[in-house]
Structure 1
Amino acid sequence: MGEVRKLQKKLRQIENLEVKITLTPEEKVKISRKAELRSRLADLLLQLSGPQQNLGIVGEGKAEKMKRQVEAAHEAFPSQAPSASKISKGELQSKTQATPAPSARQKEAGSGGWGGEREEREDRQEADRQQETGPPPNVSHHCPEVSDACPALTPRDPRKEKQPEEEDAVFTTLKETWEKAKFRLRLLEGHSDIVTCVVAIENTVISGSRDTTVKVWHVPTATEQRNLGGHSGGVTCLSAPPPEYCRRLARTLSLPEKERFILSGSADCCVKIWALSTGQCVKSVYTFNSVTALCFVPEGRGYFITGSGSWGKVQAWSWHTLENCQSISAHQEAVTSIQSQGPLVFSGSAEGGVSVWENLCSERDPLRPLFHWTGQVTGCGGGQGSRLALSPRGDRVFLAYGRACIKILDWRSGSVSRLTNHSSVAGVTDCVHQTVGLLIGSSYDLASGESTLNMFTLPQCRYLVSLTCAEVPRVLCFATWLTGSGDHRWVTGGRDLVVWEQLPRSTKQRGDVTVRRDGRLDAPSLESEDSADDDDDDEESDGYGDEEGGDHRVCPNATDGEPGSWFRCVLQ
């Protein structure tokens, strides 16, 4: 397992190196070894998945480290453990009745089922005894979704019996619909470097790239409409103000009220406001810091919030006057994601911290901090090249941080759950996005180079299907919208800018995307018991120098450090 972890770590480092604009000769040599490392990793995974392999035995070391290695092996090779879909309902109920407390179930789930024959035999004996004596008091016969994270069982309520059945029926119908979905892919060619951000406004897509340009695309014809040049550094983020705020700015600039504007942030420390109809830059704001995240807050007179790659600053700017209203050193490293939800603003950083702010709609200091959760709490602490992307929904925030799972943070309580987004630890999740009733997580396999979009229902987060195409590279950014007929249109950015167009059900045209289901993603979200376990693969040295390593998690009283490692890695 040690060599597997080292190879996975090296491949992560190579993927981060590939998105740099300039490379040293040593870095080019490392990238040239990518195919060789993938081949070695595939061979090791094949050997370790054999029936003769004993994954739980190590020569020496602490028992806790051995336990983590066994748990990681189970996550890496889930095919050796029975999937949830293959366990009968009766067996689930008997195991639930035989389980004295949810915490015991969680510990049992953490062991991954390896060497658990004695526990299974005891479960069967206990189930047989309960069939003779009857179930214990206050234990419900009706538990439609038994999971390792299932809360304490409650007595049976006949009035709610039909609700789970109805939910299952709706889920089954939705799953069958998506299993038959067809998509046509179209490549939008024009950028000369990696696409870092995308925004969709109806049938118009705006993309930003590290080639310093912002491009405007007409999706139905797959043509480039505008090339917005003016930044002197890589474009890192985009934001589209709502129409009513665009009308206010248009009136002050004596432009037609139907004019739409787009904001772009860049490593050149500027936020530029562009008029889409003409492609002209109408305003430019110098922030004195490299801009790595950007979000428009449609509250009051309007604000836009910028995140900095220098010292982790979060800054608020008035949409009316374009003046700086507030500047806070909120994070230790680069701010990599900012999103708004009503009057709330959420910021995430490279060290894994998440902050929640309330917009007071005041002229000065409009952001009031509500909560701050460090990387130790979120379990998203990373090393150089780390990037945290977030997507809020109610009391939850979905976090993608370059690992195989999606973290779900309850931002009020600080509790964290895991949502499986890849069938092995060799997977990387770069972005997570919400659209109508759906949660979409990108997944990239370090071992095979396959890129996948996994779809889950909202708010239940139940796995639906996976969409994959061999020609689509790693997905770094995502945008969605619906057509007039209700079909989905998506755009993904990375090394290529690709439009995903859902075809009508009645069409006989063959789709470009493979729709499949991975039963190993059916597992429900699990409460995270030890967030540090996700970063175990960063603890061992692999001889690759300083690209990734050490503990970069935030301490509550830490002082500001150097500019964020994510920013240095991808935009230097």
Structure 2
Amino acid sequence: MGEVRKLQKKLRQIENLEIKISLTPEERAKISRKAELRSRLAELQLQLSGLQQTLGIVGDGKKEKMKRQVEDAPGALPSQTPPASKILKGEEESKTQAMPLPAARQRETGGEPEIGRQRERTEQAKVSHHCRSPDTSVSGDCPDFDEEQQLRQEEAEFTSLKASWEKAKFRLRLLKGHNDIVTCVVAIDNLVVTGSRDTTVKVWHVPTATEQKNLGGHTGGVTCLSAPPPEFCKRLAGSLSLSGKERFILSGSADCYVKIWALNIGQCVKSIYTFNAVTALCFVPEEDGYIITGSDGGKVQAWSWHSFENCQSINAHQEAVTSIQSQGPLVFSGSAEGGVSVWENRCSNRDPLRLLYHWSGQVTGCGGGPDGRLTLSPRGDRVFLAYGRAWLKILHWRTGMTSRLTNHSSITGVTDCVHQTGGLLIGPCYDLANGESTLNLFSLPECRYLTSLTWPDAPRILCFAAWTTGSGVHRWVTGGWDVIVWEQLPRSGKQRGDVTAKSDSRLDSCSLESEGDTEDDDETDDYEDEDNNDEGKDSRSDGAEERGSGSWLRCVLQ
């Protein structure tokens, strides 16, 4: 078992090396051993599968045992901070709130104290009931009967939805043009915009799967993209004497610039120098509009869409800001060390962001070092978190309570991003042990597993975008080593899809586990590559110098 874990650790290190641009001869030698290590791991797994059912080992899929992992994390102190004025429609505000711990105090204390972890020991039906939106109401003279009838109706609807997605067909088209990893994708109408480590931003015409524009201007790898809504584009176009139909895209780069591109004319119309490598950004469509950026050093900054001047700079996180998303007037930032901050945009020309909550990696359960890459997707009072593990975390950002949603049946699975579209939660997952990649679909808001989509030679998915056409057809874009457009095909048509939909019975299970039952998932990374023991010791002893700010960006863009 120990050797299995060491092999898993080595494969994880190799996969992380492969996303670097510059490799030393020693690193190239390690990468060349990947096939050999996978073969040895498969042999050990086969041996173990004959002796016992071992949680977290990928062997014969039919013999594996998998448990759905859903656990509660520490609670938090009562809040004295009023909630934000607006949240996503359809989600009700939580009645229980928590007090935010300032970032400075977080650094002094090392994170939130643990206050009594609760164990969920309900049955599967109760899990579904617990996950439903709190606005579900029951009426009638016989509440118990009405509730049971409603549960039956919801179960029938879920069964129908699951059957529909198990028969889904997609046509895949490869977009060729980038010569390095694609780090970010955005969809705008019939266009897809991609940013890459090759320093370019490319615009693609989806119906024809052709490159429309090549936007060169950054001198460093492009790390993030964001698309302002049409009304804000029209306002900027008017100030620049451009067509009112002009659409703009924002790009952030390791060269410390945020650039604003006019897609129709294919030119950069504005450059903002941030003094820091830009690792995340989003557009907040409130009042005159704001650009929110995150830096490699953990800084969060706000910029006016009207004047493009800096409104605020905050040392918000200890490590690189790896994800920023907005939801109404709220802004969510996630960092490499696993921390999540929630901000309220007060729509001011000076210091518009006010910290509502800050949850450390200890609370979110996404800690593990500054080399991590947390991505987040907010929905009402919940935030879905992906942190390169076999699971997704669901953070209730007002209370600090968390749940774990299994996204792969083995600890060798890694989830690099998470996305919502319509009533779907999509969790891409890549298996380090065998190189297989899948898209796992869950229903919202219940977070119940629907099906898994895969295709031959599927690459690791680092970023994701989705939209729905006027006729209700799903179109998705996945980015990583390849950029692939997914177009949903009618089920009644004769055309065969390029994607295989399969139901993973192990993910279909919804049994609950206590925290102690899932320790293997976190312990894997504790095993050092024996070829790197000295290097690992030096890294731990040097502390901030070796693992300080900038480590995540060096890992991705070095």
TM-score range for the pair, normalised by the shorter chain length: 0.7 to 0.9
Q: Does 1:227 align with 2:214?
A: yes
Q: Does 1:392 align with 2:378?
A: yes
Distance 1:486 1:148, change over 3 A: closer
Give 3-state SS (helix, strand or coil) of 1:563's partner: coil
Write the letter of the residue equivalent to 2:125: E
Match of 2:523 in 1: 536
* Cα deviation, residue 517, structure 1: 0.2
Give 3-state SS (helix, strand or coil) of 1:185's partner: strand
* Cα deviation, residue 4, structure 1: 1.7
* Per-residue Cα deviation, 1:425-470 (whole angstroms, up to 9, x for no partner): 1101011000010000000011110110000000000000100012
Give 3-state SS (helix, strand or coil) of 2:125's partner: coil
Aligned mates of 1:430, 1:76 — CA distance in 2: 25
Write the letter of the residue equivalent to 2:41: L
* Cα deviation, residue 149, structure 1: 11
Q: Does 1:431 align with 2:417?
A: yes
Match of 1:376 in 2: 362
2:291, 2:302 within 8 Å by CA — same for their partners in 1?
yes
Match of 2:237 in 1: 250
Query: 1:145 pairs with 87, 105, 125, which one?
Result: 125
Query: 1:204 pairs with 169, 179, 191, which one?
Result: 191
* Cα deviation, residue 549, structure 1: 8.8
* Cα deviation, residue 255, structure 1: 0.7
Q: Does 1:445 align with 2:431?
A: yes
Match of 1:23 in 2: 23
Query: 1:162 pairs with 149, 156, 165, which one?
Result: 149
2:421, 2:466 within 8 Å by CA — same for their partners in 1?
yes
1:492, 1:499 within 8 Å by CA — same for their partners in 2?
yes
Comparing 294-303 with 9-18, greater Cα deviation is found at: 9-18
Distance 1:408 1:316, change over 3 A: same
Aligned mates of 1:443, 1:471 — CA distance in 2: 14
Matches within 5 A, 1:160-559: 160-309=147-296, 311-383=297-369, 385-524=371-510, 529=515, 534-545=521-532
1:76, 1:426 within 8 Å by CA — same for their partners in 2?
no
Write the letter of the residue equivalent to 1:264: S
Give 3-state SS (helix, strand or coil) of 2:307's partner: coil
Distance 1:315 1:448, change over 3 A: same
Distance 1:150 1:174, change over 3 A: closer
* Cα deviation, residue 561, structure 1: 7.6
Aligned mates of 1:192, 1:149 — CA distance in 2: 47
Aligned mates of 1:54, 1:505 — CA distance in 2: 38
Aligned mates of 2:377, 2:536 — CA distance in 1: 26
* Cα deviation, residue 83, structure 1: 7.4
Equivalences, count? 495
Match of 2:46 in 1: 46
* Per-residue Cα deviation, 1:185-244 (whole angstroms, up to 9, x for no partner): 000000010000000011100000000000000000011100000000000000000001
Aligned mates of 1:228, 1:511 — CA distance in 2: 33
* Per-residue Cα deviation, 1:321-364 (whole angstroms, up to 9, x for no partner): 10111111111111110000111000111110111100000001
* Cα deviation, residue 22, structure 1: 0.9
Match of 1:95 in 2: none
Comparing 224-233 with 483-492, greater Cα deviation is found at: 483-492
Aligned mates of 1:273, 1:523 — CA distance in 2: 46
1:184, 1:500 within 8 Å by CA — same for their partners in 2?
yes
State the TM-score, normalized to the length of structure 2. 0.83
Q: CA RMSD in A?
A: 2.9
Aligned mates of 1:560, 1:426 — CA distance in 2: 26
Matches within 5 A, 1:5-84: 5-50=5-50, 52-53=51-52, 79-81=63-65
1:383, 1:549 within 8 Å by CA — same for their partners in 2?
no
Give 3-state SS (helix, strand or coil) of 1:49's partner: helix
Distance 1:527 1:393, change over 3 A: farther
Match of 2:106 in 1: none
* Cα deviation, residue 533, structure 1: 6.1
Aligned mates of 2:185, 2:66 — CA distance in 1: 40
Aligned mates of 1:266, 1:278 — CA distance in 2: 21
- Gaps (5+ residues) in structure 2? 69-116, 132-141
Aligned mates of 1:451, 1:312 — CA distance in 2: 31
Give 3-state SS (helix, strand or coil) of 2:255's partner: coil
Distance 1:330 1:6, change over 3 A: same
Percent identity of paired positions between Structure 1 and Structure 2: 71
Aligned mates of 1:7, 1:269 — CA distance in 2: 38
* Cα deviation, residue 2, structure 1: 1.8
Match of 1:569 in 2: 555
Aligned mates of 2:323, 2:60 — CA distance in 1: 29
* Cα deviation, residue 150, structure 1: 6.8
* Cα deviation, residue 39, structure 1: 1.1
Distance 1:349 1:104, change over 3 A: closer
Aligned mates of 1:533, 1:47 — CA distance in 2: 19
Comparing 276-285 with 33-42, greater Cα deviation is found at: 33-42
Q: Which has the larger radius of gyration?
A: 1
Distance 1:339 1:324, change over 3 A: same
1:332, 1:560 within 8 Å by CA — same for their partners in 2?
no
Comparing 210-219 with 10-19, greater Cα deviation is found at: 10-19
